[in-house]
A and B are shown apart, each in its own frame.
Chain A
Amino acid sequence: MKDLFPKQHVMGFGFSLLLTLVALAVIKFDMSYNMAFGVLLVTALAQATVQLVLFMHIGESEDKKTLYTTILYSVFVGVVTIIGTLFAMIWGYN
């Protein structure tokens, strides 16, 4: 019976709901901009980790090379998109 219950998935589901609620709390409670941003950043990173580890089973596959290449590529695209947008739309905007 123990093997039949998808413990990891239910845990992951619980965690992701909890993290969403914490992130939502930012609008409910009156806090400073920096504080709110900090909460959002931390919950976002935690959320990404939960998704990757508990749902996408990262690290369980043999093929480490593909894994690291993919992660490196996504970090590249993510950083370029975010920093690039800030660069084009805010820092370098007249």
Chain B
Amino acid sequence: MSMEEVFHPMQEPMILAAAISIVVGAVVIVAGLTYFKKWGYFYKNWLSTVDHKKIGIMYIATALLMLMRGGIDALLMRAQTAVPDNGLLDAQHYNEIFTTHGLLMILFMAMPFVIGLMNIVIPLQIGARDVAFPRLNAVSFWLFAAGCGLLNLSFIIGGSPDAGWTAYFPLAGTEFSPTVGNNYYSLALQLSGIGTLMTGVNFIATIIKMRAPGMTLMKMPMFTWSILITNIIIVFAFPVLTVALALMMLDRQFGTQFFAMQNGGMDMLWANLFWVWGHPEVYIVILPAFGIFSEIIATFARKNLYGYKSMVMSMVVISLLSFLVWAHHFYTMGHGVMVNSVFSITTMAIAVPTGVKIFNWLLTMRHGKIQFTTPMLYALGFIPIFTIGGVTGVMLAMASADYQYHNTMFLVAHFHYVLIPGTVFGVLAGYHYWWPKMFGFRLNEKLGKAAFWFIAVCFNVTFFPLFILGLDGYARRMYTYSESTGYGPLNMLSFIGGIGLAVGFALIVYNIYYSWKHMPRNEKADVWDGRTLEWATHSPVPEYNFAVVPTVTRLDEYWFAKKEGRDITAGKIEKIHMPNNTGTPFWMSGFFFLAAFFAVFNLWVPAIISMIGVFGFMIHRSFEKDHGRYISVEEVMATEKSLRGDK
């Protein structure tokens, strides 16, 4: 590949501007760290940390950054289609943008946001001092970061993937996608996917093995339950993606014919494998949101969660059904009636357990004394908007009707109506809810509520017109359309809604700055009068989480202890065993990144050399003796004292 080809994306002024801004941003960060002599702090406290809370914060920071990047992609798409025959973007650039928008929002925004929240909250909620494998957790994060960096690099160097986030063959094969874009796709997703898989193993082990004494499975908080089930789905679904991506790489870069149209290959097998992973993936990002809403609704309705057992059961049923519905993504691609009928029925069946959950939330709020805080607003907004998404989902589930909706904007509107109120509202609610636990001060409620109203209203302005456009036959992924189609006015309305959404998200980011400057720092540990164990320890949480691990006898132990005036964190302080920090995960993932980057361009010698670096770190780890360290009783007492505010 010539240099000219590698840097061809930068011939476009918009991409050149983005590239320059990335370089300038990087220079500013490096210069700032050097000027304020913060490199040591940065490395010691963040790059080499194994603390689940800090890893969680890094996940969420990355997710917010990617939300901005994916949001800009979305705005560009809406701007391009706002008026007929628009020339803002050309077809190729539009293809790259809708592809990266999908990839970033699902894999590098929703996933890290969910994983970030589970990192911060799960050990606290089950009364543990860290996750089961702290160092593996750091490896997970840095592999995810490597994959994320690689995909973001693609639009500057070599060109982004442009065959849609689903990358269907034969379009994604070398014949129709000759640039390196889809090499980036397979390798970037592979890296972050391995990280996610390890997160799955880690959190299953954590939840199964490290719960506080007395906390049986049926006494776990609902968020913990949702994360346990999510991680089980991760462990069973992600290997399918790993294999599919490996086959894609072999097809594109080693001349195999797995997804070819000839020589015994089967192009549709990619779509099949992609959705065998892809549909459970939908539940991987939605179940944690269900868990978050369950916590928030119970907390702010001041009632215990209605139907605890049916909540658990419905999630288990969803996890099983999520593996039974994938072919509904390609009803129109040539299956017989039998296949389509079977997958129609399984798909509609998923609405049942989901409906059970909706009714449980409504019944939890019934006769409750509801407090309208920012997280609660997101939970309240979620129920009606998500229900619209769910009902249109049942419409799409009917295979014969789907022949009308397939690949139209109706579908696009549907999945935004489930993913935004479901996942995005969910993680934003969790983010506002647990922010004081992370940093010791609240986010400003006024700004938070203003952002919520902007997002909730403008979301509907943006996406409701797309239902109508879709029913009028407006196909997705079209970069432009003629005036005579009559699609213009509704597209303009959708664009205006998109600007409102952008204002909402800008307010959320501004709120971080504002609250950091102005919000009081002496918040009590239990800011929301919560029910679960994370509110029993200080905010911000000390490194060891709990000076004394609480004992649990029932669901919502902390809530009842408060009512009875008991202190569940009282007890004899002993020395605490903690894992050591290590830079290995960071550097190892750096080598992984280099190997994948070289592999994108078929530069096999440097790629193999980088992989030797990776194996070097693994071998080093195998022979390393690291038994962690102890925090002495005196040190724990001193920390506790200062966090309680005693001088």
Choose among A73, A80, A89, A94 the residue that contacts B232 (Cβ–Cβ < 8 A): A73
Structural contact, B236 and A74, CB atoms closer than 8 A = yes
- 8 Å CB contact of B336 from A66, A73, A80, A93: A93
Complex CA distance for A15 and B338, rounded to whole angstroms: 43
Contact call A93/B335, Cβ cutoff below 8 A: yes
Bound CA span A55–B276, Å: 28
**Contact: B327 with A81, CB < 8 Å?**
no
Interface assignment of A87: CB less than 8 Å from any CB of chain B: yes
Chain A residues closer than 8 Å to B336, beta-carbon distance: 92-94
Chain A, residue nearest B334 (CB): A94
Most buried by B among A76, A77, A87, A93: A77
Chain A residue nearest in CB terms to B327: A88
A84 contacts the other chain (Cβ, under 8 Å)? yes
Assess whether B611 is interfacial by the CB under 8 Å rule: no
Please give the distance in Å from B489's CB to the nearest CB on chain A: 40
- Give every chain B residue within 8 A of A85 (Cβ-Cβ): 269, 272-273, 276
Closest chain A residue to B232, Cβ basis = A73
Query: Which A residue sits closest to B209, measured CB to CB?
Result: A63
Question: Are the C-beta atoms of B335 and A80 separated by less than 8 Å?
Answer: no
CB distance from A81 to the nearest CB of B (A): 6
Interface size on A, residues (CB 8 A): 15
Determine whether the beta carbon of A77 is less than 8 Å from that of B334.
no
B578 at the interface (CB under 8 A from A): no
User: Which residues of A are found within 8 Å of B240, using beta-carbon distances?
Assistant: 81
User: Complex: how many Å from CA A18 to CA B59?
Assistant: 42
- Total A-B contacts with CB atoms under 8 angstroms apart: 43
A88 CA to B326 CA, complexed, in Å: 10
The answer to whether residues A89 and B272 also contact, given A77-B323, A84-B327, A94-B334 and a CB cut-off of 8 A, is: yes
B240, closest chain A residue (CB) = A81
**Provided the pairs A73-B232, A88-B335, A92-B339 are in contact, do residues A80 and B269 lie with their beta carbons within 8 angstroms?**
no
Query: Is B266 in contact with A81, judged by CB distance below 8 angstroms?
Result: no
Contacts of A76 in B (CB 8 A): 320, 323
Interface check B75, CB cutoff 8 A: no
- Cα distance, A89 to B276, chains bound together (Å): 12
B-side contacts of A73, CB under 8 Å: 232, 236
Residue of B whose beta carbon sits closest to that of A66: B208
Min distance, Cβ A79 to any Cβ of chain B, angstroms? 10
**Nearest A residue (CB) for B333:** A93
Task: Please tell me which one of the listed residues B320, B323, B334, B343 contacts residue A81 in the complex, with CB atoms under 8 A apart.
Answer: B323
Q: Does B268 contact A (CB under 8 A)?
A: yes
Instruction: Assess the B268–A89 pair: CB atoms within 8 A.
Output: yes
B324 interface residue per 8 A CB criterion = yes
- Would A89 and B266 be within 8 Å (CB), given that A80-B323, A84-B327, A94-B334 are in contact? yes
CA distance A92 to B341 in the complex (A): 11
- Take A66-B208, A73-B236 as given contacts and tell me if A92 and B323 are in contact as well, using a CB distance cutoff of 8 Å: no
Contact with B along A63-82 (1 / 0, CB 8 A): 00010000001101100110
- Closest partner residue, chain A, to B320 (CB atom): A76
Interface string of B261-276 (1 = CB under 8 A from A): 0000010110011001
What residues on B are CB-neighbors of A84 within 8 Å? 276, 324, 326-327
CB<8 Å pairs between A and B, sample of 20: A66-B208, A73-B236, A74-B236, A77-B236, A77-B323, A80-B323, A80-B324, A81-B276, A84-B276, A84-B324, A87-B339, A88-B272, A88-B335, A88-B339, A89-B266, A89-B268, A89-B269, A89-B272, A93-B334, A94-B335
Which residues of B are at the interface with A, using a C-beta cutoff of 8 A?
208, 232, 236, 240, 266, 268-269, 272-273, 276, 320, 323-324, 326-327, 334-336, 338-339, 342-343
Beyond the given pairs A80-B323, A84-B324, A84-B327, 9 more chain A to chain B contacts, judged by CB atoms under 8 angstroms and listed by A's residue number, are: A66-B208, A74-B236, A81-B323, A85-B269, A88-B335, A89-B269, A92-B339, A93-B334, A94-B334
Pairs A-B, 7 closest by C-beta atoms = A92-B339, A77-B236, A92-B336, A88-B327, A92-B338, A94-B334, A88-B339
